[in-house]
């Protein structure tokens, strides 16, 4: 998936099928360069997630050609972002169909935390990055370490003037393979934030161990009444004792991992979905 920006502004999503990827790999098509696109399809295909809230999508096919342009390219904008402010972010959820783009001043990061993935088959590290928005609110964006390993967060934290981060294509403030981070991009929004916080000195490193040291005890009832504004940026560690596990009365069931339909046991053992055939179920 890619995003194309025409000379008259706006943007349109481009989908490159897997069987065409070898013709449009990153060593052949470079971000920031300008290309004339020939022989493509424009379709109204619904996707679960979208880079932008656009109605139509360009689809490349075996006949699609790209011709690089080198003259008259200054009229094409280098970047295109739809930044979400805190009000929009609060209205979104993990299942929002449009990816979230944010911009803010880098002010700190946490220690990597190992997360169980693939149904517990392996562990993968996540790290939180804190950004100060133009509104002066602190926003936490969660990254899989593999998605941000090319950035030296410690080096950014040591800078006297903190850099501006643009985080594009996040699934509700959590990184995915399409997520990109732009550091100090040459755009008006970045300059506006830099000017507002030019005298701001952020802590060099937001240590989660330090946060634990300074943590205070709270009961569940207090946490239930926290507003989003008060809870934003905080982390909680829960200590509890499991006294009983109740699996009666249909507390859980086996479902298809793709369509989430309840699965009856198949003849001969295992489970089979009417839409996806034999599957390994997950408990819901």
Contact predicate 110/92, CB 8 Å: no
Same domain as 189, residue 127: yes
Long-range CB pairs of 42-45 (<8 Å, 24+ gap) are 45/15
CATH number at residue 48: 2.40.50.140
Q: What range does the domain containing 109 cover?
A: 86-209
Q: In whole angstroms, what is the distance from residue 31 CA to residue 10 CA?
A: 17
Same domain as 15, residue 114: no
3 state SS of 261: coil
4/146: higher pLDDT: 146
DSSP letter string, 107-131: EEE---EEEEETTTTEEEEEEEEEE
Sequence-separated (6 or more) residues with CB below 8 Å from residue 34: 68, 69, 70, 73, 76
| In a domain? residue 154 | yes
Average pLDDT over residues 83-95: 82
Q: In whole angstroms, what is the distance from residue 99 CA to residue 82 CA?
A: 10
Q: In whole angstroms, what is the distance from residue 105 CA to residue 138 CA?
A: 9
Contact predicate 101/165, CB 8 Å: no
| In a domain? residue 260 | yes
Least confident of 15-24, 89-98, 224-233: 224-233
Q: Domain boundary at 21, 42, 69, which?
A: 69
Contact predicate 282/254, CB 8 Å: yes
| In a domain? residue 79 | no
Same domain as 188, residue 252: no
Q: Which element (helix H / strand E) includes 95?
A: none
Residue whose C-alpha is closest to residue 35's, from 7, 1, 63: 7
Same domain as 167, residue 52: no
Residue whose C-alpha is closest to residue 41's, from 25, 62, 22: 62
| In a domain? residue 148 | yes
Contact predicate 137/216, CB 8 Å: no
The verdict on pTM exceeding 0.95 is: no
Tens of pLDDT, residues 110-129:
888 888 887 777 888 999 99
| In a domain? residue 215 | no
Same domain as 135, residue 91: yes
95/214: higher pLDDT: 95
Q: How many domains does the chain have?
A: 3
Tens of pLDDT, residues 173-228:
888 888 999 999 999 999 999 999 987 755 544 444 444 444 556 666 666 666 66
When the pLDDT of each residue in the chain is averaged and rounded to a whole number, the result is 79
| In a domain? residue 216 | no
Tens of pLDDT, residues 125-168:
999 999 999 999 999 999 999 999 999 999 998 888 899 999 98
Contact predicate 153/129, CB 8 Å: yes
99/201: higher pLDDT: 99
Least confident of 71-75, 205-209, 259-263: 205-209
Say what percent of the chain tops pLDDT 70: 75
Burial class (CB in 10 A: 0-12, 13-18, 19+), 51: buried
pLDDT of residue 16: 83
Q: In whole angstroms, what is the distance from residue 193 CA to residue 51 CA?
A: 24
Tens of pLDDT, residues 39-53:
888 877 665 555 555
- Please, what is the Cα angle at 168 between 166 and 170, to 5 degrees? 125
pLDDT of residue 206: 46
Same domain as 157, residue 120: yes
Same domain as 93, residue 51: no
7/71: higher pLDDT: 71
Q: In whole angstroms, what is the distance from residue 173 CA to residue 11 CA?
A: 21
pLDDT of residue 207: 45
Residue with tokens 């001043």: 105
């Amino acid at each position: 998936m890619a995003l194309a920006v025409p000379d008259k502004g706006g943007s349109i999503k481009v989908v490159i099928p897997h069987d065409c990827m070898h013709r449009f790999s990153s060593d052949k098509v470079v971000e920031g360069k300008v290309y004339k696109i020939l022989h493509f399809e424009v379709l109204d295909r619904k996707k679960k997630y979208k880079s932008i809230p656009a109605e139509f999508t360009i689809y490349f096919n075996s006949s699609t050609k790209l011709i690089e342009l080198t003259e008259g390219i200054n009229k094409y904008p280098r970047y295109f972002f739809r930044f979400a402010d805190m009000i929009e972010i609060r209205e979104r959820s993990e299942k929002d169909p449009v990816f979230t783009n944010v911009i803010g001043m880098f002010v700190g990061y946490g220690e990597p935390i190992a997360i169980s993935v693939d149904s517990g088959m392996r562990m993968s590290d996540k790290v939180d990055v804190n950004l100060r928005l133009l509104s002066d609110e602190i926003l936490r964006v969660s990254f899989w370490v593999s998605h941000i390993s090319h950035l030296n967060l410690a080096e950014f934290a040591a800078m006297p003037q903190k850099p501006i981060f643009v985080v594009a294509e996040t699934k509700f403030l959590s990184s995915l393979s399409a997520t990109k981070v732009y550091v100090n991009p040459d755009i008006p929004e970045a300059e506006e934030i830099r000017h507002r916080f030019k005298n701001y000195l952020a802590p060099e490193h937001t240590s989660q161990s330090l946060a634990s040291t300074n943590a205070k005890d709270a009961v569940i009832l207090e946490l239930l009444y926290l507003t989003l504004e008060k809870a934003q940026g905080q982390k909680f560690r829960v200590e509890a004792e499991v006294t009983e596990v109740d699996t009666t009365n249909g507390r859980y069931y086996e479902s298809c991992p793709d369509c989430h339909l309840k699965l009856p046991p198949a003849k001969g053992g295992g489970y089979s979905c009417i839409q996806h055939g034999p599957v390994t179920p997950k408990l819901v």
